[in-house]
Amino acid sequence: MRCIVFDIHSDHLATLSTRSHEVVFFNPLAYLNLEALASTSALVQLHRKQDRKTREFLKAVKSQLLGGNFEVICAHQSVFPPEWLIEECHEQRRVLGCFDDPQATYTRTLPSIVGYHGAYYCSPSYSDTQLTRDVFRSFGILHTHWFPLSYASFSDDHCRQVLDSIAVRSSTVVYVGKCYGSKVDRLAHLHRHFGKQLIVYGKGWPLGGGAGFIAPLRGRKFFPRLVRPVSDAQRKRLYLSSRVGFNMHLGDQAETGNMRMYETTAHGLVLLCDKASTGAHAGIFEPNSEAFFYSSMEEAIELAEKCMLDMTLSRRLATAGFERCKSHYSFNNVLENLISWAGSIPMAEVRL
């Protein structure tokens, strides 16, 4: 099956073959800017005003569809005016990726879903009481699919590096991520306990990486660290030398399944992650067997200390988490499953 994937993080017009499918990636940012993609209404307005860049984008998409014989369209973000999709893409199964829900539900997901036959999502939990699958079906979205947000790949060389390093890693807790208010509070808590054993890197931290120094002015905890970005190669070396990968989600025990869950386990760290109130985290990695999950920062520190002190325990968890990620969450696997699901949507529904 041939599929075209619209993804603002991909290389434009890159190609990939999975076990059963041929995939072309199309990056909308080759034509549009992020402001145009902020909401469905913004896209529709640009389309109706005959915006030049929007016209060029839609013309390029139509050219790809006509020349590529694609059967499935996967839009990782809402990048089309829904009425244009319905009019111009009536021969393809069309599915929409929902990676920022619930924050984006009412700005992009629901206003755009009328142009699609199904939706896929990265967080199995939608709120502290509801699963995303159930919420979407209550919205009338009948075809849904969980898409683990993993870009991990597992070459023989990578697997050797991970397994050879697990037994000799330093007693450090590492976090690589952006600066968000509630996350700064949790990092400050870890910093007070672990000091230099906590390693933090990330892109886009304000004030040249020093946002934590003035956090109290914004009602947050003091975090006296200068946080710098790290290259992909540096991040890999950092992960392969550290024992615990700290993870957290923006929602308060609402969401689960961010990219860091797979990124850390793919490098053989012990995943230390916040729980989802729905228990959906347990469907991604088995608690206490493949990862540690915490309900409070006190519990997170206690679990991290266990990994620092018990090498046998940390090695067992890291190895099991790595093997689960390798067998279930490689990028090729999750993409293969996504396209197979989209391709199973009955054509009778597509051609209504």
Distance of CA 117 to the CA centre of its chain: 22
CA pair distance 170, 36, nearest whole angstrom: 45
Q: Residue 304 carries which side chain, given as an amino acid letter?
A: A
Tell whether 173 and 319 lie within a shared domain. Answer: yes
Tell whether 111 and 258 lie within a shared domain. Answer: no
Tell whether 65 and 185 lie within a shared domain. Answer: no
CA pair distance 309, 307, nearest whole angstrom: 6
Beta strands per DSSP E along the chain? 2-6, 15-17, 22-26, 72-75, 93-98, 118-121, 144-146, 170-176, 198-201, 242-247, 270-274, 292-294
Tell whether 179 and 324 lie within a shared domain. Answer: yes
Tell whether 160 and 126 lie within a shared domain. Answer: no
**Domain containing 136 — which CATH number?**
3.40.50
Tell whether 65 and 135 lie within a shared domain. Answer: yes
Domain region containing 204: 156-328
**Domain containing 236 — which CATH number?**
3.40.50.2000
Tell whether 291 and 161 lie within a shared domain. Answer: yes
Report yes or no: 276 and 126 within 8 Å, Cβ to Cβ: no
DSSP string computed for 7-62: -TTSPTT-EEE-SS-EEEEE-GGGT--GGGGS-HHHHHHHHHTT-HHHHHHHHHHH
Tell whether 318 and 343 lie within a shared domain. Answer: no
> 156 is written with which tokens?
């023989």
CA pair distance 231, 168, nearest whole angstrom: 23
Tell whether 140 and 161 lie within a shared domain. Answer: no
Tell whether 283 and 343 lie within a shared domain. Answer: no
Name the residue with tokens 């389309």. Answer: 47
Name beta bridge partners: 272: 246, 292
Tell whether 77 and 93 lie within a shared domain. Answer: yes
CA pair distance 231, 245, nearest whole angstrom: 17
Q: Count structural domains, the chain.
A: 2
Q: pLDDT tens track of the chain, all 352 residues?
A: 999 999 999 999 999 999 999 999 999 999 999 999 999 999 999 999 999 999 999 999 999 998 888 999 999 999 999 999 999 998 899 999 998 888 889 999 999 999 999 999 999 999 989 999 999 999 999 999 999 999 999 999 999 999 999 999 999 999 999 998 789 999 999 999 999 999 999 999 999 999 999 999 999 999 999 999 999 999 999 999 999 999 999 877 889 999 999 999 999 999 999 999 899 999 999 999 999 999 999 999 999 999 999 999 999 999 999 999 999 999 999 999 999 999 999 877 765 5
Tell whether 70 and 127 lie within a shared domain. Answer: yes
Residue 26's contacts (CB-CB under 8 Å, 6 or more residues apart) are 4, 5, 6, 7, 10, 12, 13, 61, 64
